[in-house]
Amino acid sequence: MNAPERLVVIVLFEGVDLLDVTGPPEVFSLVRRESGDTPYRVLLAAETLDPVTTSAGVRVLPDVTFDAAARHRIDTLLVPGSVEADPERGVRALAEPAVVDRVRTLAGRARRVASVCVGAHLLAAAGLLDGRRATTHWSTARQLAEEHPEIDVDPDPIFIREGDVWTGAGISSCLDLALALVAEDLGERTALRVARQLVMYLKRPSGQSQFSVPLAQASTTRRVDDLRQHITRHLDAPLTVADLAEHAHVSERQLTRIFKSELGTTPSAYVESARVERARQLLESGDDTLDRIAATCGFGTTDTLVRAFRRQLDTTPTAYRHRFRVSV
């Protein structure tokens, strides 16, 4: 029996982020390939039918105008975002009043609403996130919190669902958000098959962090880069503050100051994050026991490994492996 058609309307406007627009439709189209069914119909809506120039310079043709889209019964309204580079304040998300008004109107016709990346700023300006917990790209999370104190902004998860409103984090997490929508509509099995076609993790849970350790930490000195490489190469060693201070030829007190100023964390916290990162890789790609992974990554015991996973990822190593184990 064929699933009922679900109309997905994606909001278009000048300067919109290209991947925010094209990523989710790719997920929805793969449902047809995997299930033989066509449950999703995607329409791109804009103020007029003239081509819209995205932030990448690629022009996209709308399918319908906003007025025409508002006459439909919308299952899912997807709201992408756009940014500008401010020389003084860095990247800033945009929320043009005319687009905000259109989002507010279309949201009233939709069963559920989802923002992609900095599209959360449009939902916020439309009043759709008031009193809710929401996420956005980490680079504009502070802006969202400052401009909308009525929103509980959490910059870490890759997506958050609050009732019929979803918010997604940055860039490629638009695929995770779309997969979560598919899972809600058609079940986990269909979503997992689509994820495999996309050569993605089998499906990251909403609570998984936007960051991995190597990406999250940036440094500006050769000494800190050397420490990071030393930690990565010797995860099975004790790596105490005293050990790291000796390796860097500084006092323990100075080492702590270096980590705080350069990486915004303590030496112990960084080491634990690096060990969790390595454990994640082993859980995703191999069949080692938890005892062996704990030893390889320097946790010592499985209990220590489990506690670190709960602190860092709010899950257990076993649950993580169950979701993300990649079969070859």
- Taking the C-alpha atoms of residue 49 and residue 46, their distance in angstroms, rounded to an integer, is 7
Tokens of 93: 């998300």
- What does the block give as tokens for 74? 């919308």
> What are the distances in angstroms from CA 221 to CA 227, 261, 265, 274?
10, 11, 16, 19
DSSP collapsed to 3 states, 158-178: CEEEECCEEEECCCCHHHHHH
CB 37 within 8 A of CB 2: yes
C-beta pairs of 124-132 under 8 Å, 24+ apart in sequence: 124/95, 124/148, 124/151, 125/95, 125/97, 125/100, 126/100, 126/101, 128/103, 128/104, 128/165, 129/165, 129/167, 132/162, 132/163, 132/165
C-alpha to C-alpha distance for 99 and 89, rounded to whole angstroms: 23
CA angle 172, 174, 178 (to 5 degrees): 135
Distance (Å, whole) CA 236 – CA 271: 11
- 77 φ/ψ angles, rounded to the nearest 5 degrees: -100, 120
CB 115 within 8 A of CB 123: yes
Catalytic amino acids?
117
Angle among Cα 178, 217, 210 to the nearest 5 degrees reads 15
